[in-house]
């Protein structure tokens, strides 16, 4: 039979999910104000009050963070020239000289580095 987690482990888990939510909220705010490309991991960590190493404990990567924001149902609009950033989108519009060149849905790639969501 599996052992039950201790009170300290449960508190740590609750603290982990609270901090992770805070980091995601901070990232949404910074991405909205500065744009995805102009917001660095260091900016997110500073705004959340975390060192870079601690930040990666909560988010995995900047790309995983974007995928998590998008998975939560937030509409994320990115203007990018980077295919790896566009790969997270569910829909890609390609523009040339202000005209729509193509408009295609796609399944976003899985992000292995994404941290798990809070338990229900």
- Is residue 47 scored above 90 in pLDDT? yes
CA distance 37 to 87: 15
For residue 68, what is the domain's CATH number? 1.10.10.60
CA distance 84 to 81: 9
Asked whether residue 1 is domain-assigned, the answer is: no
What residues make up the domain containing 64?
Answer: 7-105
Asked whether residue 16 is domain-assigned, the answer is: yes
Asked whether residue 120 is domain-assigned, the answer is: no
Asked whether residue 22 is domain-assigned, the answer is: yes
Asked whether residue 99 is domain-assigned, the answer is: yes
Residue 77 backbone phi and psi in degrees, to 5: -110, 120
pLDDT of amino acid 120 = 44
Q: Do 58 and 20 contact (CB within 8 A), yes or no? A: yes
Asked whether residue 57 is domain-assigned, the answer is: yes
Number of compact structural domains in the chain: 1
Asked whether residue 119 is domain-assigned, the answer is: no
Tens digit of each residue's pLDDT (9 = 90 or more) over 73-108 = 877 777 777 787 777 777 888 888 888 898 888 875
CA distance 90 to 80: 14
Q: What does the block give as tokens for 100?
A: 């729509």
Asked whether residue 75 is domain-assigned, the answer is: yes
| Better-predicted residue by pLDDT, 19 or 107 | 19
The residues that bridge with 105 in the sheet, in sequence order, are 91
């Amino acid at each position: 039979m599996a052992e039950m987690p201790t009170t300290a482990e449960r508190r740590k888990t609750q603290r982990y999910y609270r901090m992770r939510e805070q980091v995601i909220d901070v990232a949404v705010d910074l991405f909205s104000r500065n744009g995805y490309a102009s917001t660095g991991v260091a900016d997110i960590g500073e705004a959340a009050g975390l060192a870079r190493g601690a930040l990666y404990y909560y988010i995995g990567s900047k790309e995983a963070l974007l995928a998590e924001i998008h998975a939560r149902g937030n509409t994320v609009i990115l203007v990018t020239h980077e295919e790896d950033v566009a790969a997270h989108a569910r829909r890609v519009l390609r523009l040339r000289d202000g005209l729509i060149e193509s408009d295609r849905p796609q399944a976003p790639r899985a992000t292995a580095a994404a941290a798990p969501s809070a338990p229900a």
